[in-house]
Amino acid sequence: MLKKRLILAAVTGLFATTVAAQANLFKPDDAVKYRQSIYQVMSAQTSVMGAMVKGEVDFDAAALHQRALNLGNAASLLGDTYFPETRGESTSNLLDKAWDDMDGFQAKGQAFGSALQDLIAVSGEADFDAAKARPVVTKVLQSCKSCHDDYRK
Ligand code: HEC
C-alpha cells in the first residue's frame, strides 16, 4: 500500500529532493538509521576538509573539491529520511521543535546548502588554495553547527 508522505523538501536547500508522494520505502526506525548514517558520511568529508584547512594533513585542492562533491551527494539523500512518521522515534536526536518550526529548520538547511554551493564552486576553481579554502570550509562547518545547536538533542 502506498502511503503519502510529506517530505521536508528543502532540508538541504539546493539539494532538495522532490519525493512528496513516495512509496513506502523505509520504515521509520530504518529511516532514522539511514539518516544518521548519511550524517556520518557527511561528517567524514568535513573532517578531512577541516584537517586540510588547519594544516593537519597536506592540502590537496582536487581532493578537497572531491570531498565537497561527496558532501553534496550525501546530503542530497537526506530528504528521503525526513517524513513525519520518524517523529518520536526513540533513536532519533532530531528535536520535536523541528517539526513545529519547519520554516526555521528548513532555513538552516538552506544556509547549509548555500554554504556548500559556494564551497563546491570555489574549490573547483583553478587557483584554489588553502587560503581560499579556509573561509568557505569554515562557513559550511558553521552551518552544520548552527542547525545542531537549535534542532538536535
Ligand atoms: C538542517 C539541519 C542540519 C544540518 C545543516 C546539519 N545537520 Fe547534522 N544532524 C541534524 C539532525 C537533526 C541530526 C539528528 C538526526 C537524527 O538522529 O534523527 C544530525 C545528526 C548528525 C550527526 C550524528 C549522526 C549519528 O550517528 O547519530 C552527525 C555526525 C552530523 N549530524 C554531522 C553533520 C555535518 C558534518 C553537517 C554539515 C556538513 C551537518 N550535520 C549538517 C541536523 C543537521
Question: Rounded to the nearest whole angstrom, what is the distance from the C-alpha of residue 144 to the centroid of ligand 1?
Answer: 7
Residue position matching grid coordinates 573532517: 47
What are the two backbone dihedrals, phi and then psi, of residue 21, each rounded to the nearest 5 degrees? -120, 55
What number of CA atoms fall less than 13 Å from residue 93's CA on the CB side? 11
Question: Rounded to the nearest whole angstrom, what is the distance from the C-alpha of residue 127 to the centroid of ligand 1?
Answer: 31
Summarize the confidence of residues 28-49 as an average pLDDT: 96
- Asked if residue 92 has its Cβ within 6 Å of ligand 1, the reply is yes
Q: Of ligand 1's atoms, which has the minimum distance to the CA of residue 105?
A: 1
Q: How confident is the model at residue 24 (pLDDT cuts 50, 70, 90)?
A: low
Q: Is residue 91 predicted with pLDDT exceeding 90? A: yes
Q: How confident is the model at residue 100 (pLDDT cuts 50, 70, 90)?
A: very high
CATH code of the domain occupying 27-151: 1.20.120.10
pLDDT at site 26: 86
Q: What is the pTM assigned to this prediction?
A: 0.90
Nearest CA to ligand 1 atom 38: 144
Cβ atoms of 29 and 89 within 8 Å: the answer is yes
Q: How confident is the model at residue 85 (pLDDT cuts 50, 70, 90)?
A: confident
pLDDT at site 101: 92
Q: Which residues contact 143 (CB under 8 A, 6 or more apart)?
A: 108, 111, 112, 115, 116
